[in-house]
């Protein structure tokens, strides 16, 4: 049987106190091996400090849709105060192509610099709400990856078959991701860039339970994969912190999941470890 290596990454660290607590719990008591930190998140300072204390492998969750830009207003993307426009409006503005690309590059570099200035050493880059797939951004992000020497990146292409895509807005988003994924094919042949073989968990956004996680782990083929997760504790006053976060946390810390990983011989790993051996 081909070896299975799995990076289990928790997104959105720094988004809120209870989200952060859940992510740290999933790392220390569960199967999460890697986290993605929002440099402009409301709890960045505390999250960065705890990550440093725990020695967590982490990446920068590059963000152009939520919160406020670190580097100031970006013509064509933010308002005058530098506030990002939200996921749907960001996609429309990127599709128009009418935005300040130099300012976007500056913002992405500022986010990486803030993480490094906190004493952390990011081993990968990924993007909040998968904006890496947008053709207008892909080249900018790759250039930033090379400039900062963080050349391990998430491949935001659903590894699951299209038949597993749900209905509704998530299904529409996944269809769009699959269409845009063709534009990344050439990047995978670039010798200085590292991508895992694919990303699992995209169709399970807000739907990941222990039972679904067991099914996913049973289906994993040989290769090096990333599993995207969003654990946390519920917080009614924090965005993206509903009951789905606690269901994911319970799944990621379930003893049955750890046992299944051992039974299948799945090797849990990180972007940094994979990048060093490729």
Q: In the predicted model, is pLDDT for residue 1 greater than 70?
A: no
How does pLDDT run across 252-273, given as a tens digit for each residue?
999 999 999 999 999 999 999 9
Give the side-chain half-sphere CA count within 13 A for 24.
18
How does pLDDT run across 207-234, given as a tens digit for each residue?
999 999 999 999 999 999 999 999 999 8
Q: In the predicted model, is pLDDT for residue 278 greater than 90?
A: no
Which stretch of DSSP H or E encloses residue 227?
A: strand 223-229
Q: In the predicted model, is pLDDT for residue 275 greater than 70?
A: yes
Query: What single-letter DSSP state applies at residue 222?
Result: S
Q: May I ask the CATH class of domain 4-277?
A: alpha beta
Ranges of each domain in the chain:
4-277
> Residue 276, exposed/middle/buried by CB under 10 A (0-12, 13-18, 19+)?
exposed
Instruction: For 12, list phi and psi in degrees, rounded to 5.
Output: 75, 25
CA 182 to chain centre: 20
Rg (CA), the chain: 18
pLDDT bracket for residue 182 (50, 70, 90): confident
- C-alpha torsion sign, points 66, 68, 74, 79: positive
Predicted structure pTM score: 0.95
Cite the DSSP H helix spans in the chain: 17-28, 44-54, 87-96, 101-117, 135-148, 168-181, 210-219, 243-252, 255-264, 271-277
């Amino acid at each position: 049987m081909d070896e299975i290596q799995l990076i289990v990454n928790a997104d959105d660290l720094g988004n809120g106190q209870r989200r952060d607590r859940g992510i740290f719990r999933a790392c220390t008591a569960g199967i999460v091996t890697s986290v993605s930190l929002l440099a402009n998140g409301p709890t960045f300072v505390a999250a960065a400090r705890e990550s440093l204390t725990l020695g967590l492998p982490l990446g920068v969750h590059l963000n152009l849709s939520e919160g406020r830009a670190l580097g100031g207003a970006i013509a064509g993307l933010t308002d005058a105060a530098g506030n990002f426009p939200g996921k749907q409006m960001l996609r429309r503005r990127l599709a128009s192509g009418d935005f300040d690309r130099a300012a976007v590059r500056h913002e992405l570099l500022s986010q990486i610099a803030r993480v490094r200035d906190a004493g952390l050493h990011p081993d990968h880059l990924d993007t909040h709400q998968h904006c890496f797939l947008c053709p207008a951004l892909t080249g900018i992000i790759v250039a930033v990856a090379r400039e900062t020497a963080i050349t391990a990146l998430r491949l935001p292409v659903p590894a699951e078959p299209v038949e597993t895509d749900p209905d509704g807005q998530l299904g529409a988003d996944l269809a769009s991701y699959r269409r845009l994924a063709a534009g990344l094919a050439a990047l995978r042949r670039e010798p200085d860039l590292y991508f895992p073989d694919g990303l699992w968990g995209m169709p399970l956004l807000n739907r990941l339970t222990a039972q679904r996680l067991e099914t996913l782990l049973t289906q994993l083929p040989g290769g090096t994969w990333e599993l995207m997760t969003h654990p946390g504790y519920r917080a009614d006053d924090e965005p993206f912190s509903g009951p789905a976060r606690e269901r994911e946390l319970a799944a990621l810390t379930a003893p049955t999941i750890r046992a299944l990983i051992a039974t299948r011989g799945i090797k849990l790993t990180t972007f940094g470890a994979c990048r060093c051996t490729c």
